[in-house]
Every structure is written in C-alpha cells, then in structure tokens.
Amino acid sequence: MPICTLHALPYRADPAHWFERIRHAPGAVLLDSGRPAAERGRFDVLSAWPLGMFEPGAGESADGFFQRLRQALEELGPASAPEHCELPFVGGLIGLLSYDFGRRLETLPQQAQDDTGLPVARFGLYGWALISDHRRQSSQLVFHPATPEAERRRLIELFDSTATGEQAPFELLGRFAADLSVDDYRRAIECIQAYIQAGDCYQVNFTQRFRAACSGDAWTAYRALRAACPTPYAGFVALEDGAIASLSPERFLRLNQSDVETRPIKGTRPRGHDERSDAAQAQALRASDKDRAENLMIVDLLRNDLGRSCRIGSVRVPELFALESYPNVHHLVSCVTGHLADGKDAFDLLAGSFPGGSITGAPKIRAMQIIDELEPTCRSIYCGSLLYVDVRGEMDSSIAIRTLLIQKGQASCWGGGGIVADSDWQAEYQESIDKVSVLLRTLEEL
C-alpha cells in the first residue's frame, strides 16, 4: 500500500493561522474542531486547489452521483498513513451535502422555493491536507502519494513562510429578520400538531430562516462567530460568490475502520444569566420527560437508519441523554454505534441515513413531506452536512446546524426545533431564536 508523506509544521491550536494563507484559493475548505476553546474535537482538516470538483447533474440520482465519487477516489489511488501515525484523512473528497440532496434519496415533492442557488452537493477531490491533531499537539502537511513533487515543494514553502493574510472587514447592512411572520409560524405549528393528532407522524422538525443584507469578507464573519460560539464540528467552505460558515455542535456520521458512530442532539435549553440559573436550566433539561422522549424517538429512528448498512445485531446505544453545554444553549445528546456490514461503504451509509433524523422528525419520510409542505423555502446547506470521505473509506461529517450561508450580499441563518403533540408554539418560536441568537447578535455587533 502506498504511504502518504508528511511535513511537520509548528503546532497551532487555532487553524486560522494556516487557513488564512489559502482562504482565497479555489476550493478552500476548513473542517474545524473549534480549538482551543472547544474541547471535544480532535482534528482540524484544511485544504485547497482540488484536483476536480463534483456536483450532481440535473436529474442525476443519488446512486449515480455517489458512484462518480467512488470512481474519483479510485482514480486518485490507494494510500495509507505512516506506521504509528493517526490521520483522519489521507487524500480524497471534502465537501457538502445540502439538506435538499435528500430529494435524490427519497421520493418527495419539491414545493419549497430554492432561492439560494447552492448546489445540492459539492465535493472537491484533494491530494493534500494540513491536519492538526490536538491530542498530540501536532500540525503537519499530509501528501497523498500521487501528489507531484513540485506541488509538495510549493505547499511546503507556502506554509513554512511567515506570511499571513490580512483580515478584511465584514458588516451587516441591517438587522436579521425572519422570513415567517409570528402568525405564519403559529399556523405551521398548529398544522403539524393536526398531522400528529391524525396519526401521520410523531414529531416534525420545523425551521424558520433569518436574513440580513451584508457586505465584506465572510472569513472575518466566521472568525467572529467562532470566537463567540466555539463548537467541535465547525467549518468554513469558500464559494465562488461567498462562503458557508458553520458552527455546528453535532456530529452526523463517523466511519472509522468500519465502526460507525452518530451523535444526535434533541433537547435544548438556553444558558442561564448566572451560575445558579444556568444550573437550573441544565437540570430542567435533564429532568424533562418531553425532551427525553423526543431524544429517544430520534435514537430509535437512527438505530433503524444505521441498521440499513450495519451488521445485524451490531447497532448499540452506548450513551443516552448526555448533557452538552455551549455558549448559548444546553443540549441533550445521545450516541448510536454500529459496525459496517461487509460489502458496504461510506456512501451506502450516507444513502441509508441522510438527512439526519434529528433534524427531520419521525417517521422520517412523512416528516420530510410535511417540512416540504410548510417551510416556504428550501433549507439549502442548513441541516445538510459538511464531510470528508478519504481513499481508505474513512468518513466524518457534521449536521450543519448553527450555519450561515453568506453569498450575493446576503447572510442567511436558520433555527428550528422538534414539534410534538404537546409542544407550545410560543416556546418553540423562542427556542428557534435561542439557538441562533449568539450568531445573529455577534454579526450585528461587528
């Protein structure tokens, strides 16, 4: 098996030091663990100048697109990490699936308007990456064996230099405003609860979008957001006319040597204003029968999704109702694991599980149909995924919540929550704002 070559760099906990050298390059992408403030993530992965870009063709099926991605990995060729070196990525695909890619996996009517123009999927094929391992406190360039020597020298010289990029300003040209009126939001929740009473579904994740006009450098916005809300599954994806800035706390799917893990979030409370009120909010979430029932419902859904691609009997729930706290909210998080079945790969796992059940509802297909009916615009990157799949078949992915799409002079952000039979629409409306308030407030104060 060909082995990747490495070039050691000084360790940096904050990947901005490295990424600012390439952020204007074609295909620049950063998968960011939020260090040093966030503590759960281990690796940062960044790259640019992809060998090729892949988007689904008009009418192309998910199976057809995934097969093209498999072929791209095969053409790049096999590679392995050097002995005794843990690397999450040794060359391969890095990109995104929008929530709306789910229409290529399931039969759904497209009723919502797509006014963003973002492709439903977009992947670059990368022959190199700069990876920081925060457990071992190392940063290094990783070159796939197919990377030409001249390209290796160019990248080594770039990252060994002391040059760093200048940070240009970013500003909003007005405050964020919701697309939905309060009355429209209330009517949508009432409609969902009527579907639940009729037996159509048990839970539907309903979302509203917030938008503001903006100008300037999306990277500056991301840096400010990252400082205000560090999270372990963050990411920045440069687009031709803007960027995706994601501050997600939620892992979607990780595939490591055939072991599968997903960590759904379901259950939220805002942080308190002082230590006592914050502890009370956390305890209220832990003790909430409603939130625990919602979380368990999604855990069962994900057990079923993983069962499509994992060995029979291998799916387990090693962690249930764990509390995770972030600068703006407390969350209930569970963990579902499995072992990939023989003959299955990362794309089979995605096909059987995307989009994540924590941001659709249950049962998944009926919930997605109701989302299409009631949400006036497509979700775009929101509730989609930022992810990589390397030539070994390793994968890690986020669910793109707490995520902004900044393009064409507009910043868009989404917030939502799971609606069940006894949901109070006013509380749900406030929760949708609580989840994104730190992001909106941070940009409004720049």
Catalytic (active-site) positions: 250, 266
**Side chain identity at residue 9, one-letter code:** L
Q: Are 71 and 93 in contact (CB under 8 A)?
A: no
How far is residue 87's CA from residue 85's CA, in Å, rounded to a whole number?
Answer: 6
Q: Which two tokens stand for residue 248?
A: 């997600």
Instruction: Indicate the DSSP class of residue 183.
Output: H
How far is residue 89's CA from residue 200's CA, in Å, rounded to a whole number?
Answer: 42
- DSSP string covering 234-296, please? EEEEEETTEEEEEEE--EEEEEETTEEEE--EEEEEEPPSSHHHHHHHHHHHHH-HHHHHHHH
SS3 176: coil
**C-alpha torsion sign, points 72, 75, 81, 83:** positive
Q: Which two tokens stand for residue 49?
A: 């100048």
Q: How many CA atoms lie within 13 A of 392 on its CB side?
A: 21
Nearest Cα residue to 254 out of 350, 170, 322, 369: 350
Strand stretches in 293-435, DSSP E: 316-325, 329-339, 361-362, 385-390, 395-398, 403-407, 410-419
Q: Are 41 and 33 in contact (CB under 8 A)?
A: yes
**Side chain identity at residue 169, one-letter code:** P
